[in-house]
Amino acid sequence: MSGSDASVLVEAARAARTRAQARYSGFKVGAALEAEDGTVITGCNIENATYGLTVCAERVAMFKAVSEGYTRFRRVVVVADAAAPPPPCGACRQILWEFGGDLEVILANLETETGRHQLRDLFPMPFDAGNLD
């Protein structure tokens, strides 16, 4: 997969979105995380009645990747059925930053890619291990 061609990741995120459990909001989201070796790890949002225990697609993908031993990542794609899909929420930005660093974040909807950002631009003053010294 080339550095600029994210079509495989976008399609993986779209497929993951179809597995989302969004029975309360109806807003299904899929994510695809690319590990440094090119492996693609996907996630979807999983809601429950309390909402507070809901987990976003981006965090599901990162937690799956980390639990499988992946530690270095290139980029993440987030797909939602919206003209302008929202970027990762604050909690997702924190997890993506801590475990992935300054990832490229690609946003897409069901038809096209809608934007590319560096995580540092979406999360300009992150709290991480450097703040614990």
Q: Residues with catalytic annotation?
A: 58
Give the gyration radius of the chain's Cα atoms.
14
Handedness of CA 55, 120, 66, 7 (dihedral sign): positive
CA angle 61, 74, 34 (to 5 degrees): 40
The β-bridge relationship of strands 113-118 and 29-35 is unpaired
CA-wise closest residue to 39 among 67, 15, 8: 8
The β-bridge relationship of strands 29-35 and 40-44 is antiparallel
Contact in structure between 107 and 114 (CB atoms under 8 Å): yes
